[in-house]
A = this chain, B = another copy of it.
Amino acid sequence: MADSETDLAAGPEADFDNKPWASYLKAALGFRNHWYPACFSKEIAEGECLGLELLAERVLFKRIGGRVYAIEDRCAHRGVPFSARPECYSANTVTCWYHGFTYDLRDGKLVAIVTDPESPLIGKVALRTYRVEERQNVVFVFIGDGDPPPLVEDVQPGFLDDDLYIAPDGDRGVVRSNWRLAAENGVDASHIYIHRNSRLLSALGRAVPLASYFVTREDMVVDTPGGPKGVVKGAGRKISVWETEIEGERIAARTMPDEDRAGSKGTDTSLWMPCGLKVDPFPALGITHFEWYVPIDEHSHYYMVTWGKRVSDPVEQERFAHEVDTYWREMVVDRFNDEDVFAREAMERFYSEEDGWNRERLYRPDVVVTEWRKLASKHNRGIQGRGYAGRRAP
């Protein structure tokens, strides 16, 4: 481990460009030319609109004939957001509430102006459009230029599997930290420590160590061409810390392995480009946990969480959806992830104001974090910049 420790303990003289994750450090607004989950399907009913800020771009979503389309949420005329007061006279369009500029969601084109029906601008002006794919009760949007790669390359492996049923009632909220601090907290091998008094784990009777992490980089990185790119800390070959001491005081996991009532096995945690986590199984056997950290701006992100189960029978699917809606969402989001949110927000000042990216002092369990940074630096398709928020449609 001496080598990796040397890598991680970069001295104060190290700067952004010398680190093997230079482009990651520039991605305060996320990576461009990737698919991002925007919201859950249930958040956009037929004919309804939803406005979201994603990677500093303002995006309007509308469901038309079952399918969700997305355009810039900003009228070409004077820049007001349609979503401030959504107005739709017809199925395929949105009309600006201010002067009646009307756009077709399918191609972004200005198709009518209520206040100037004969305007020569009609048909000549267009808003930026966004590619949308809706899968597994989640609406994904491509933030980028040109033809997107297949969605499967930008989601957690298995998420799109036909036999995986994803509960429709996930959770989405705003967290006040940069998205990278969230992603790193998610995959962070040893942050389980903050969950040691978790009410969820107590309720489940699970034995959870003080920390648990890989000690080698082997098999940690997954970057098969054509597939999702990510880092995995698998169930095997890991160190688990169950007890230690400080000045003679014993510190031990709340539930030790021999007291486990949940029949816990190892859990695989993995983080995937551009910003998705997978924990399997979690919170219980047979359930897979998915979450995403979608950049809003430099200092906030949407935190999306949902769960999947391999059940194909509609009755069982309904039962699982009900279980998620009435039990797991509250147990996980309010009684477990709240600790993660606390940690992400507590890091923000250091990283945004105090040169934290250069001054942090990483340690051995962070190898998964640094492997993630290197992977993200290598496999991203572009760095999002503030300029895109101001880009004119082609």
Contacts and interface: CB of A to CB of B under 8 A. Distances in A.
A354 B353 CA distance: 24
B392 A95 contact: no
Interface stretch (A74-82, A141-149, A216-224, A303-311): A74-82
Interface residues of A, number: 72
A117 interface: yes
Contacts of A115: 190, 193, 210-211, 241, 365
A91 B247 contact: yes
A246 B90 CA distance: 7
B354 A390 contact: yes
Contacts of A360: 77-79
Contacts of A111: 246-247
Interface stretch (A17-25, A119-127, A255-263): A119-127
A193 B115 CA distance: 7
A193 B364 contact: no
A211 B81 CA distance: 21
Interface in A340-359: 342-343, 346-347, 349-351, 353-356, 359
Contacts of A241: 114-117
A98 B191 contact: yes
Interface string A176-195: 00000000000010110110
Interface stretch (A1-9, A30-38, A154-162): A1-9
Contacts of A354: 74, 79, 389-390
A89 interface: yes
A190 B78 contact: no
Contact of A80 (B211, B245, B248, B346): B346
B112 A244 contact: yes
Indicate how many identical chains form the complex. 3
Contacts of A194: 97-99
Interface string A52-80: 00000000000000000000001011111
A116 B190 contact: yes
Contact of A12 (B12, B120, B361, B392): B392
Nearest to A359: B392
A247 B93 contact: yes
Contacts of A5: 120-121
Given A120-B5, A194-B97, A246 B102 contact: yes
A116 B247 contact: no
Nearest to A113: B363
Contacts of A190: 99-100, 115-116
Interface of A: 1-2, 5, 9, 12, 74, 76-81, 84-85, 89-93, 95, 97-100, 102, 111-117, 119-121, 125, 188, 190-191, 193-194, 210-211, 241, 244-249, 251, 342-343, 346-347, 349-351, 353-356, 359-365, 389-390, 392
10 contacts: A12-B392, A90-B247, A98-B193, A99-B194, A114-B241, A114-B244, A115-B241, A116-B365, A117-B244, A359-B392
Given A12-B392, A77-B362, A79-B350, 20 more contacts: A1-B120, A2-B120, A5-B121, A74-B350, A78-B350, A78-B360, A79-B360, A80-B343, A84-B342, A100-B190, A100-B193, A113-B363, A114-B246, A114-B251, A115-B210, A116-B365, A117-B244, A120-B364, A121-B363, A125-B361
Which 8 A-B residue pairs are closest in the complex by CB-CB distance? A79-B350, A115-B211, A90-B247, A115-B190, A80-B346, A117-B244, A76-B361, A89-B246
